[in-house]
A and B are shown apart, each in its own frame.
Chain A
Amino acid sequence: EVQLVQSGAEVKKPGESLKISCKGSGYTYTNYWIGWVRQMPGKGLEWMGIIYPGDSDTRYSPSFQGQVTISVDKSINTAYLQWSSLKASDTAIYYCANRKEGAFDIWGQGTMVTVSS
């Protein structure tokens, strides 16, 4: 079965760092781009960036460039999204998704990140 499994919910304080993960299985991980999508509470979907596990080529949405870092460890079929200094406004659900034929066809279950003092 093709699936993406994300790491569990996180509760952090402003200024702390965080790295969440997205592990793929059931397909050739290095052949498809993996994207990250943010959903703030009660809001819509926002594309953050995308990475190609085969060569780590990474693209960021202008809205998120410099705010987060996307990386991958292809040896363990896992992509990462990280922050060096969290803000309260980073509170959201973060989804990873596999991009195939121009669409996000497989989604992870989401990781809830809560940033509060």
Chain B
Amino acid sequence: QSVLTQPPSASGTPGQRVTISCSGSSSNIGSNTVNWYQQLPGTAPKLLIYSNNQRPSGVPDRFSGSKSGTSASLAISGLQSEDEADYYCAAYDDSLNGPVFGGGTKLTVL
């Protein structure tokens, strides 16, 4: 049981816009910034979004993040086949004194 809650799966067709939600509590998302990671099949995770809505260099602007209260969302616009991956949200948890992850969402491009 992960501290942050994500839907286990999401899907979309090429060119569509999809969103992935992440729900937490006052001790994590409610009081700290949210990061998102992309894990392509068989590879290490990669930082996709940090500080709620910032993209590291090299991440396409098709990816965007937002946060409101104790929830956050990742949006992917202009969906492409190479976006098929697992996506994880994460935030620091003040009660656990460390970062916590969501359970991950498997994105399928139909």
* Chain A residues proximal to chain B, CB less than 8 Å: 35, 37, 44-47, 49-50, 59, 61-62, 95, 97, 101-110
Contact = CB atoms under 8 A, between A and B. Distances in A.
Contacts, number: 60
11 contacts: A44-B2, A45-B45, A47-B101, A61-B96, A102-B50, A103-B35, A103-B47, A104-B47, A105-B56, A107-B44, A109-B44
Contacts of B24: none
B66 interface: no
B45 A44 contact: no
Contacts of A109: 44
**B contact residues, range:** 20 to 34
Contacts of B88: 44-45
Contacts of B45: 37, 45, 95, 97, 104, 107
A59 B97 contact: yes
A52 B2 CA distance: 26
Contacts of B33: 102
A50 B99 CA distance: 10
Closest 9 CB pairs of A and B: A103-B50, A103-B35, A44-B104, A107-B44, A45-B101, A44-B103, A105-B47, A47-B99, A110-B44
A20 B50 CA distance: 28
Contacts of A50: 98
Contacts of A105: 47, 50, 56
B104 A45 contact: yes
A108 B35 contact: no
A107 B47 CA distance: 9
